[in-house]
Structure 1
Amino acid sequence: MGLISEKLRTMGVVLPAPIRLPDGELPFPWVRVLGNRALISGHGPASGDGLYSKSKGRVGAEVSFEEAYAAARDTAYAVLANLERELGDLDRVAGWARVFGMVNCTPGFARIPEVINGFSDVIIEVYGLERGRHARSAIGVAELPFGIPVEVEAEVLLA
């Protein structure tokens, strides 16, 4: 067991099963390794069984800020689960390069970066500031697939 997997275990985190979409398989991979980089397709919050979490809707309407922040944390765990499946070991991640977060929200909802902090907080907690720190953008959108409140894509550098 690698150091990152051990850290997750001591945090009491069990990574979710692979995400299962309601309409079948993706025509592209969740994680694509190209040389010393791994490109991570957009992920949403997954529950332990791999289905998208029950939190659905727009932040500022059906979904509270607290639920959205938790959804962003769950999204980080879904990303880590797929990275582990693709790489075999989360210790292969030398550093997080960038994160792009999208929040399904009502017009005027201004706490978008704070929602995506849920994702960033997990990554920095797991990898530490030096390896976990990343460039980041966070935007609000009118809709996300399957009604999920948060979607994140990312890029990591590999050792």
Structure 2
Amino acid sequence: MDSRAHMTNEERLAALRIELPTSPKPVARFANAKRIGQTLYLSGQIPRGRDGAPITGVVGDDISRAEAYDHARLAGLALLAVARDAIGSLDQVAGVSKLFGMVRATPDFADHPAVIDGCSDLFADIFGEAGIHARSAVGMGSLPMQATVEIEAIFELHG
């Protein structure tokens, strides 16, 4: 049995040696997170480098599927940072309900789900079975700031 099974979400994050980035600020007139009852809606997040700059490119052209997987993981880390800022602790997360993943890709690229797995795998590692979610993974001709991926999420919170 996984020794992390009895850990809190925050303890799992630490055990996995995952450090969350600084929560990005909204770039327009919207909130990064909106809580309604026990549901937390998270606005789309893009991958950013250590310097905070957006990671750009087109998957299937100058970005490989493996690189894009890593970019989806970075977007997932940004989502977690936003969630922690909004609710104080990831221990408040009861589960991940839904992800909507967008991949900036060439018209013939067809592995969008494999890219968004970067975020899905991260959430499963941190939240365990509660991190398994419903999901859409689609291709886009463009994304904000020419980012490679953008992912939004819906989390269920403890009552």
Alignment TM-score, normalising by the size of structure 2: 0.90
Does 2:26 align with 1:27? no
Q: Write out the 4+ residue segments of structure 1 that deviate beyond 3 Å after TM superposition.
A: none
Contact (CA 8 Å) 2:104, 2:141: kept in 1 or not? yes
Mapping of 1:94-109 within 5 angstroms?
Answer: 94-109=94-109
Q: CA deviation at 1:48?
A: 4.3
**Map of 1:133 onto structure 2:** 132
Q: Mind listing any 5+ residue stretches in structure 2 that lack a counterpart? A: 1-6
- Counterpart-to-counterpart distance in 1, 2:25 and 2:127: 26
**Map of 2:3 onto structure 1:** none
Does 2:49 align with 1:44? no
Q: CA deviation at 1:20?
A: 4.7
| RMSD of equivalent CA atoms | 1.5
Mapping of 1:3-152 within 5 angstroms?
Answer: 3-20=8-25, 25-48=27-50, 51-53=52-54, 55-129=55-129, 131-152=130-151
- Counterpart-to-counterpart distance in 1, 2:125 and 2:97: 16
Contact (CA 8 Å) 2:25, 2:32: kept in 1 or not? no
Contact (CA 8 Å) 2:42, 2:153: kept in 1 or not? yes
- Counterpart-to-counterpart distance in 2, 1:113 and 1:28: 27
Q: CA deviation at 1:47?
A: 3.4
Alignment TM-score, normalising by the size of structure 1: 0.90
- Counterpart-to-counterpart distance in 1, 2:25 and 2:50: 11
SS of residue paired to 2:126: helix
SS of residue paired to 1:125: helix
Contact (CA 8 Å) 1:17, 1:48: kept in 2 or not? no
Q: Mind listing any 5+ residue stretches in structure 1 that lack a counterpart? A: none
Aligned residue-pair number? 152
SS of residue paired to 2:96: strand
